[in-house]
Homo-oligomer: A and B are copies of this chain.
Amino acid sequence: MAKERKHVVIIGGGFGGVNAAKILGRGKEYRVTIIDRRNHHLFQPLLYQVAMAALSPAEIAYPIRSLVRRYPHIDVLLDEVVDLKPDQKEVVTKTRSISYDYLIMACGSNHSYFGNNEWEEHAPGLKTLGQATEIRRRVLLAFEKAANEKDIEKQRQFLTFVIVGGGPTGVELAGSIAELSRLSFRRDFKNLDTSRTRVILLEGAPQILNAYPKKLSYKAALALEKLGVQVWTNAMVTKIESKGVYIGDDEFVKTSTVLWAAGVAASPLNKKLGSELDRGGRVIVGQNCQVEDHPEVFVIGDQAHFKAKKGDTLPGLAPVAIQQGQYVAKYLNQMAKGKKMGPFHYIDKGQMATIGRNKAVLKAFGIEMSGMIAWFAWLFVHILYLIGFRNRMVVLFQWAWAYLTFKKGARLIIDKEWRTHSRLDADI
């Protein structure tokens, strides 16, 4: 083409960024650069299965470069954005400055410790593959340590798992640990009574799965309790230490493993826009996902505060990010042709959370469901949306195998320290 292509920069290769990139790539109107500090797109909804030793990291991740390899005008940059200069239309990364004509911010969310970031050391959250393998390491090590421990008091501490946050991730983690212990580990740990495992799910609100109707939340709690999970609602964590968790004014649970599934943090980049943020630090966007003072900047997904027609703010879910990414890309493609597009409409395809073997809750298109059918629906939808034919096949196979044999496929404790020589030398 004779005309110079305008440059679209996308920050983040998650659901929002990748879906925007693909449509821009097909439209051939722009030159696109995707910046991400990791080399892979991650299928977040199955991340808890990596943490729970059911899947391998590579089975739910895909190189961003490979996702867009067929589009000649899309570049991928492995780098970290450290600053934004919206007035100069510039993104500053660790290695360079990049100017843009249009910017799509699709940075996703991090977890928040509500001002207590020192808790992270003792209570990892679950947003990245690095965190998932760290959680896997901690959970598997806790069982190994319990098996090696003669002191009953200490053994109980190793066999106690506290999950903070009763959203979908917290529910999935709690259910999985209970199943690991009851079903997978019972025969492997001969000297350990795995029925002594305590899994405690803490939720600050009066019910778990707050985004779901009361009835489904109640059914989920019942199903969790059947698996041996203790559900403590109205339970506010006040402190987390290496030896345990403090709840409310004076309760204390001794545990060696705390997992964090509560709270979402705003990206510090949002502040650089100089635009209005909501109480949670998200950017308030208009009906085209645009930033008010900078119509060339779009914010989508978890970091966008988008008011739907009914007045509800859209939740931080994968379908929202996907649809917003596709919308913004279509909007830009239309704009290049001199056409206009109407405002973004979210098509609510429902929500679902799995609790364990054969159990899930689901609400979609006005239907509420729980149990086995919801669980199959969950399986189907997640396999369907998983990227790449190979990953789908391998995950399907791993699931079928785990379902039939009760064995988990990725029960690995991998050393954090890869160097071996310092240690060996010390031994000699």
Residues of A within 8 A of B (CB): 38-40, 56-59, 61, 63, 65-66, 69, 72, 75, 77-79, 82, 95, 110, 113, 117, 120-121, 124-125, 127-131, 133-134, 140-141, 144, 147-148, 187-191, 265, 268-269, 271, 390, 393-394, 397-398, 401, 407, 409-422, 424-425, 427-428
Residues in B whose Cβ lies below 8 Å from that of A66: 188, 407, 411
- Contact residues in B for A121 (Cβ distance below 8 Å): 419
Do A75 and B190 touch across chains, with their CB atoms under 8 A apart? yes
Known contacts A113-B421, A148-B79; is-contact A413 B188 (Cβ 8 Å): no
The answer to whether A413 and B40 touch (CB under 8 A), given A78-B148, A188-B66, A268-B428, is yes
Contact A424 B58, beta carbon cutoff 8 Å:
no
Question: Across the interface, do B412 and A57 meet the contact criterion of CB distance under 8 Å?
Answer: yes
Report whether B40 and A110 are in contact in the complex, using a CB–CB cutoff of 8 Å: no
* In the complex, chain B residues whose CB is within 8 Å of the CB of A59: 56
Distance, CA A263 to CA B244, complexed state (A): 46
Report whether A117 and B421 are in contact in the complex, using a CB–CB cutoff of 8 Å. yes
A427 and B130 in contact, given A110-B420, A413-B38 (Cβ under 8 angstroms): no
Please give, as numbers and ranges, the residues of chain B lying within 8 Å of A133 by CB-CB distance.
Answer: 414, 418
Q: Which residue of B lies closest to A191 (CB)?
A: B75
B75 touches A117 (CB 8 A): no
Q: Which of B38, B77, B128 is close to A418, meaning CB atoms less than 8 Å apart? A: B128
Chain B's closest residue to A78 (CB) is: B144
Chain B nearest CB from A71 CB (Å) reads: 9
Across-interface contacts of A401 in B (CB, < 8 A)? 390
**Are B65 and A130 neighbours in the complex by a CB distance under 8 Å?**
no
Q: Whole-angstrom distance from the CB of A420 to the nearest CB of chain B?
A: 6
A410 to B187, CA, bound (A): 31
Enumerate the 8 nearest inter-chain pairs by beta-carbon distance, A residue then B residue, closest first: A56-B56, A58-B410, A130-B415, A130-B418, A65-B188, A117-B421, A78-B144, A134-B418
Q: State how many angstroms separate the Cβ of A12 from the closest Cβ of chain B.
A: 14
> Are the C-beta atoms of A428 and B271 separated by less than 8 Å?
yes
Which residues in B have their C-beta under 8 angstroms from that of A61? Answer: 412
Complex partner residue of A39 from B57, B412, B420, CB under 8 angstroms: B412
Residues on the B chain within 8 Å of A390, using CB: 397-398, 401, 407, 409
The verdict on A148 contacting B394 (CB below 8 Å), with A56-B56, A56-B59, A418-B130 known, is no
Once the chains are docked, how many angstroms separate the CA of A335 from the CA of B166? 58
Apart from A58-B411, A65-B189, A393-B397: 9 A-B pairs, beta carbons within 8 A: A40-B413, A56-B59, A58-B410, A65-B188, A82-B427, A127-B420, A390-B397, A394-B394, A397-B397
Q: Tell me which residues across on chain B come within 8 A of A110, comparing CB atoms.
A: 420-421, 424
CB-defined A-B contacts under 8 Å, sample of 16: A40-B412, A40-B413, A56-B410, A63-B412, A110-B421, A113-B421, A124-B418, A128-B418, A128-B420, A130-B414, A131-B418, A131-B420, A133-B414, A265-B424, A268-B424, A394-B398
Q: B117–A63 contact, CB under 8 A? A: no
Residues in B whose Cβ lies below 8 Å from that of A268: 424, 427-428
Instruction: For the complex formed, measure the closest distance between the CB of A385 and the CB atoms of chain B, giving whole angstroms.
Output: 19
**A363 and B269 alpha carbons, distance in the complex (Å):** 60
What is the distance, in angstroms, from A311's C-beta to the closest C-beta of chain B? 31
